[in-house]
Structure 1
Amino acid sequence: MLGRTGPRLRRIGAAAALLTLVGALSLGAPGGVAADERPAPTLTDAVTERLLERGGAAVGTAAAGDTPRVAVTRSAGDWAFGTAVLATEPGSDRMPHGWLFLAERTRGEWRVALEGEEGFAEISGRSPLVGDRERPLFAQQGGAQQGGAQQAGAQQDGSGEVGAYANGDMRTGMALPTTVGADTVMTSGPHGWSGSAAPWSSLDFAGGDEVVRAARQGTAYTMCRGWVRVVHDRGYTTDYYHLWSNISANGTWVGAGAFLGYTGTDVTCGGAAYGRHVHFGLMQNGSYVGLAGHNLGKWVIENGAAAYQGSALHGSRRVYAGGALYNYGALGLTQGVVDTGGGTSVNRRTGPGTGYPVAGSAADGATVSVACSANGTAHTGRYGTTSLWNRLTDGTWVSDAYLWTGVNGPVNGWC
């Protein structure tokens, strides 16, 4: 499809430079030169070496044929910051992979860390290149996903693998990456960032006003033309690819709902797009994670039997891939969505159990705010059996069996 093309990306800062190196870095010393006499790797070489190692771990042997693109967007003295991308061929069925990097030169050699690595969080705390709004977010980007792969709350990703999430806490605080108060089509259900492979971290959206917006506040970075990344709190990052007329950003603070670009078909860094859309991906601590069980706004994402299938739940209303989702906005971290399991409403009571008088009702799909929780009579809902009850901010109580909060337990402490 022909469409608008984005403006040429601006170079950011006087020290910014785009440096591209094709092929892997040879680790052997040149013939006749002792290993301890060879020149220290340049910044680009050091970043490329680390990028190929990380890419190999994330993608496998296929990464060896990708093209490293290293862009230094900030530098000062012995410090450097930028983006490192493994680009694929335009039209390829494989998507590009990339990370932010920080580098520090010590005794003439560059130490490089990519986001999601322990060193990234450590270096970011000392680097003069990291802004005040970036620093607390980067501090949460060091290390693998919290919790083990078998902990309560882990979700199958559709391929037999189990995704490891932050101790079963599936809250994102995000909205859909579209305009609040409008419909958009979820053209494809959960699938991998690069096709059908696990984890199923990604969704495709199109239609509506075709505007792509930040799902939550954070700092934004242009990975390449058509690809914007936003780093959020709680270790989360969101990717937006195939954009037309996307913003040029180098740590720009963006609020929830900020304009990032338009749905498009851009494949500057590789991959394929067969109709304008945004390819949306969820990461945690530098790695893509399965979307199933997480919420985007007031929709809970669920896998299908195969990649690109699946659905989204708002209360007990289910919309399958190909259907339209209304953007209700973000769900607060101490809020829940009422899910009656097909009913019209659930009773609100004056205490944590059915022995307490009814004090009203909450409609299916309604948003409620939780003040605290306590144990009471047991009930069974869509997500299992529980004796947990939630005291709402209006003083009434609702069984946790009829709420999606993203947490298998109190969402705002005990009463």
Structure 2
Amino acid sequence: MFLPVTRRRRPGGRLAVGAAALFAALALATPAQASPPAADEQPTLTEAVSTRLHTAAPGTATVLGSDTRIDVTRKQGGWAFGTAVLATPAGSEHLPEGRLFLAHRDATGWKVSFDGESSFSRLARTSPVMKAPEQRLLSAGTDGPQAAVAGDFRTGMTLPYSTGQSWTMAGGPHGWSGEAAPWSSVDLAGGDQVVRAVRAGTAYTMCQGWIRVLHDRGYATDYYHLWNNIGVDGATVQAGAFLGNTGTDVTCGGSALGRHVHLALRHDGAYIGIAGHNLSKWVLQSGGSAYQGSALHGSRQVAAGGALYNYGVLGFTQGVVDTDGGTTLTRRTGPGTGYAVAGSVADGETVTISCSRTGTSHTGRWGTSAWWHRLSDGTWVSDAFVWTGVDGPVNGTC
């Protein structure tokens, strides 16, 4: 575009451009650049986390209300880490919702990410506010080892109390908040009232009465209604570590009738159905409605209201014999019924698997399978009558 300018002749014959006209031309030719908001106009850290929390789950925020509780547990330079909780009133049918957050400030303000999000994983890799053990855990992201969990119901977890104790399953599979899906939770009560970590991990206090432990493979477990719970911010805990005592605490909302622990299962930053997963060699099962359901140990079924004995952890290369109503499972010298009988193993017993291969097909409680497992003693059993948590080889193929 041609812009006419006013010219006047200087001594010596040179042309001079009028300053006012030149500035006007430049103003027309150069687009205005947007400036970042002034520091005093940018949202504060807590405002940014609160806004992001409501944006991340608008439906949940609408139900729970606007009682947002932000706890900044670490801050260094332009980095911050902590917990963000949407609280509910005491006595509400809804339990609070909580996330771990990681925030980084740039010229435009605070950028907030929550655990389970890919942006959180990327930030965790370089953030100076992250501790080394949790950095390895939280920076794995959804493309890490936990990606292999699909179709794999092994957890390596126990029930949240000492091995050898029996507690009452006061409520079978139900939602984090009552009947809401997914049915991620069970209620457990009794015993010595001491709540323990179901597996090693990194622990955080979400609020009074609420502990979250992050495990490997993308799993996490929540423990709510605790009394005398530990105060932790990224502390490493071992399996069986003391987390608190059963209680009726509803500091962050919800309700509790009688002392118990509300145990919930999470994966990749969200609650998931707990049915089908194994805790202390019990396979949890959903019922026709929330709080019903049962748990299976071999062929033994215990309904909600019954006692669950803590048999200890089921290893990733182990299985529990489930004869689907029988008393024993035949062991053979090879992977099929054409091989000689080599003894038997009782229903409910734990077996250690060396490797697997296909053989004759059989149908049990969990469906039809042609896989056979070679046990640590060299004998073979049909996969159709062993709960392993996976549909296929357990410890490689033979």
Given the two structures, how large is their TM-score scaled by the length of structure 1?
0.84
After the TM superposition, which of the residue ranges 39-48 and 297-306 deviates more from structure 2?
39-48
Cα deviation for residue 140 of structure 1 reads: 3.6
Residue of structure 2 aligned with 1:184, choices 167, 171, 186:
167
**CA positional deviation for 1:35:** 9.1
Alpha-carbon distance in 1 for matches of 2:91, 2:142: 33
Is 1:143–1:285's contact at 8 Å kept on the other side of the alignment? no
Does 2:175 align with 1:173? no
Q: Do the aligned partners of 1:116 and 1:143 also contact (CA within 8 Å) in 2? A: no
- Equivalent in the alignment of 1:53: 55
Contact 1:117 1:144 in 2 (8 A): no
* Residue of structure 2 equivalent to 1:207: 190
Q: What is the rounded CA distance, in whole Å, between the counterparts of 1:238 and 1:182 in structure 2?
A: 20
Whether contact under 8 Å (2:54, 2:61) holds in the other structure is no
8 Å CA contact 1:55–1:97 kept in 2: the answer is no
Residue 229 (structure 2) aligns with: 246
Q: Which residue of structure 2 lines up, in the alignment, with residue 365 of structure 1?
A: 348
TM-superposition CA deviations, 1:323-353 (whole Å, max 9, x none):
0000011111111100011111101111101
Task: Please tell me whether Structure 1 or Structure 2 has the larger radius of gyration of its CA atoms.
Answer: 2
Gaps of 5+ in 1: 1-33, 148-164
In the alignment, structure 2 segments of 5+ residues that lack a partner are: 1-34
1:197-228: CA deviation from partner (whole Å, max 9, x where unpaired): 10000000000111100010000000001000
Q: Contact 2:146 / 2:217 at 8 angstroms: preserved in 1? A: no
Structure 2 residue aligned with 1:162: none
Residue 132 (structure 1) aligns with: 132
Q: Which secondary structure state, in structure 2, belongs to the residue aligned with residue 130 of structure 1?
A: coil
- Provide Cα deviations, 1:76-132, integer angstroms capped at 9, x if missing partner: 111111000000001111100001111111225211110111111111111122122
The CA distance in 2 between the partners of 1:394 and 1:114, in whole Å, is: 47
**Secondary structure, counterpart of 1:133 in structure 2:** helix
1:78 corresponds to: 78
Q: Does 2:286 correspond to 1:303?
A: yes
Report the Cα distance in structure 2 between the residues aligned to 1:196 and 1:145, rounded to whole angstroms: 31
RMSD between aligned alpha carbons?
Answer: 1.9
CA distance in 2: counterparts of 1:411 and 1:112, whole angstroms: 40
Contact (CA 8 Å) 2:283, 2:295: kept in 1 or not? yes
> Shift of residue 371 of structure 1?
1.3
- 5 Å-filtered alignment, 1:10-409, equals 36=37, 39-56=41-58, 59=60, 61-63=62-64, 65-107=65-107, 109-142=109-142, 166-409=149-392
Asked if 1 retains the 8 angstrom alpha-carbon contact of 2:321 and 2:351, the reply is: yes
Cα separation, 2, equivalents of 1:140 and 1:388: 32
In 2 relative to 1, CA 275–141 (structure 1 residues): closer, same or farther, beyond 3 Å? farther
> Could you tell me how far apart the structure 2 residues matched to 1:188 and 1:234 are?
27
Structure 1 position 66, deviation (Å): 3.5
Contact 2:204 2:233 in 1 (8 A): yes
Q: Secondary structure at the match of 2:53?
A: helix
- Paired residues, number: 363
Measured in 1, the distance between the counterparts of 2:323 and 2:341 equals: 16
Deviation readout 1:123-159 (Å, 9 max, x if unpaired) = 1111122122112221345489988xxxxxxxxxxxx
Specify which structure has the higher proportion of helix.
Answer: 2
Q: Shift of residue 263 of structure 1?
A: 0.4
- Is contact 1:176–1:215 with CA below 8 Å preserved after alignment? yes
Q: How far did 1:36 drift? A: 4.9
Which amino acid is the alignment partner of residue 223 of structure 1?
A: M
- Give the partner amino acid of 1:121: S
What SS class does the counterpart of residue 125 from structure 1 fall into?
helix
- SS in structure 2 at match of 1:52: helix
What does the per-residue CA deviation read over 1:292-348, in whole Å, with 9 as the maximum and x for residues that have no partner? Answer: 111112000000000000000000000000000000111111111000111111011
- Deviation at 1:238? 0.2
Q: For the structure 1 residues 134 and 260, does the alpha-carbon distance in structure 2 shift closer, same or farther, using more than 3 Å as the test? A: same
Q: Which amino acid aligns with 1:122?
A: R
Supply the distance in 1 between the matched residues of 2:179 and 2:358 (Cα, whole angstroms). 42
- 1:144–1:42 CA distance, 2 compared to 1 (3 A): farther
